[in-house]
Amino acid sequence: MKPEQPSTDIDRRAFLVGGMGLAVASFLPLSTKAAPADMQAAVKELFGDRPLQEGGVTITIPPIAENGYSVPLTIDVDSPMTPEDYVKKIAVFSPRNPIPNLVQFTLGPRTGLARVSTRIRLAGTQKILVVAEMSDGTLKSAAAETMVTVAACIIG
C-alpha cells in the first residue's frame, strides 16, 4: 500500500466492497425460483387431488415472446356457461417464475363466455399450465410453451 495515495485506496476499497455486495445480491434471488415440483404443489393446494383432464382448454400465447415483462395470454374454456354448467375458476401456473401462481380468475354463469385475456411476466422459457375448474368439480387443463428472449426481471 502506498501511503502517498490514501484517498485513491479508500475509493477503490469502497468500490470493491460495493461491487461485491451487488454481485452477491444479484445471485440471492435465484433461490426464490420455483421448481416444477412447486408448481405441482400449487395445483394441489388449490384443487386438491382431483385428476386433471387434458383438453377443453385453449391457450393463446405467442410461441416466442420477445419481452418477458409483458406476454399476452388468452384462455378459452369449452363451456356453455349456463347456470347448470359453467366454469368456476381458471388458474394459471408457472414452473419457472418465483411464485408458481401467476393469476387466477373466478367466473360464473353471468360471465356468459369462458374467455379471458391478460398480460403476464415470464422469467424465462417455460411451459405454463392452465387449469379450469368446472361447476361439477371436474378439472380441465392445457399447457403451452413460450420461448422468452428477454426474461422478466423477477428472478433478480
Please identify which residue in 8, 60, 117, 138 interacts with other proteins, judged by CB under 8 A: 117
Q: Is 5 in the site for other proteins (CB under 8 A)?
A: no
Please identify which residue in 24, 48, 54, 136 interacts with other proteins, judged by CB under 8 A: 24
Number of H helices, E strands in the chain: 2, 9
| Cα-based distances in Å from 39 to 10, 23, 138 | 48, 29, 19
Q: Is 118 in the site for other proteins (CB under 8 A)?
A: yes
Question: What is the DSSP secondary-structure string of 59-119?
Answer: EE--SEEEETT-EEEEEEE-----SSS-EEEEEEE-SSSSSSEEEEEE--GGG-S-EEEEE
Minimum distance from residue 155 beta carbon to other proteins (Å): 7
Q: Which of residues 67-106 bind other proteins (CB under 8 A)?
A: 69-71, 74, 81, 94, 97-99, 101-106
Interface residues with other proteins (CB under 8 A)?
A: 18, 21-22, 24-26, 29, 32, 69-71, 74, 81, 94, 97-99, 101-108, 110-113, 115-122, 152-156
